[in-house]
Structures are given as structure tokens and as C-alpha cells.
């Protein structure tokens, strides 16, 4: 399953009310490390799509949710379960590290 784009307007329905865990990648077009992990997140989404939804939120186009959550640095990945943030990872990492971290939190 490919990653899904979420917005301030869709965040509640797509993330908080999801029936499975959702990993939200907070990113921006100008962020080099964000672009580096993008392809890895797409691959992980295909590999773990039955267990978790991987969503991406552009913090430049959507400022409300990142502001409420307190996003100060990117890339920031926040895992939500049952509508609550349960884990987060800041910064770029190799695919194997990202996938290992995510699997350990599911």
C-alpha cells in the first residue's frame, strides 16, 4: 500500500480515528533528509501495509497539526495508535533502521 498524504483537515479521520496504527512523517519540500527517507518509507509502506498506514504531512502546507503536536525539527515520524502518539523518531536513517524501529513499536 503506498503512503497517503494527510492534511490538517483529514488528520482526525485519517490518523486519530484509524482502525490501525498510523506512522505520520512530518516533512517539507526543502528538507534534504526528508527527501532521503521518502523512498524508504514508500517501500516500508508496501512491506508493512497490512499492519500500519504510513502517512506524510507537508508542514509548509499544513501548519495546524504540526503546531499542536509541537513539531520543531524534521523529518519527524510519529506513530499513532488508538488516536494517541505512542512513539517518535527524529531525523533520517537507513531503511533497515526505520523499519526495525517501526516494527519494534507495533
Catalytic residue set = 31, 34
Who contacts 2 (Cβ-Cβ below 8 Å, separation ≥6)?
Answer: 42, 45, 46
Alpha helix segments (H runs only) across the chain:
11, 32-48, 64-69, 95-105
Residues 48, 103 contacting (CB under 8 angstroms):
yes
Amino acid at each position: 500500500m503506498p503512503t497517503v498524504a494527510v492534511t490538517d483537515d483529514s488528520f482526525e479521520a485519517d490518523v486519530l480515528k484509524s482502525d490501525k496504527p498510523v506512522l505520520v512523517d512530518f516533512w517539507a519540500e526543502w528538507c534534504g533528509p526528508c527527501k532521503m527517507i521518502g523512498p524508504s518509507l514508500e517501500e516500508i509502506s508496501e512491506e508493512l501495509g497490512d499492519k500500519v498506514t504510513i502517512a506524510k504531512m507537508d508542514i509548509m502546507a499544513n501548519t495546524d497539526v504540526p503546531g499542536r503536536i509541537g513539531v520543531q525539527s524534521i523529518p519527524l515520524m510519529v506513530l499513532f495508535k488508538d488516536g494517541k502518539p505512542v512513539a517518535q523518531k527524529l531525523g533520517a536513517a537507513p531503511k533497515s533502521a526505520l523499519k526495525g524501529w517501526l516494527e519494534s513499536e507495533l
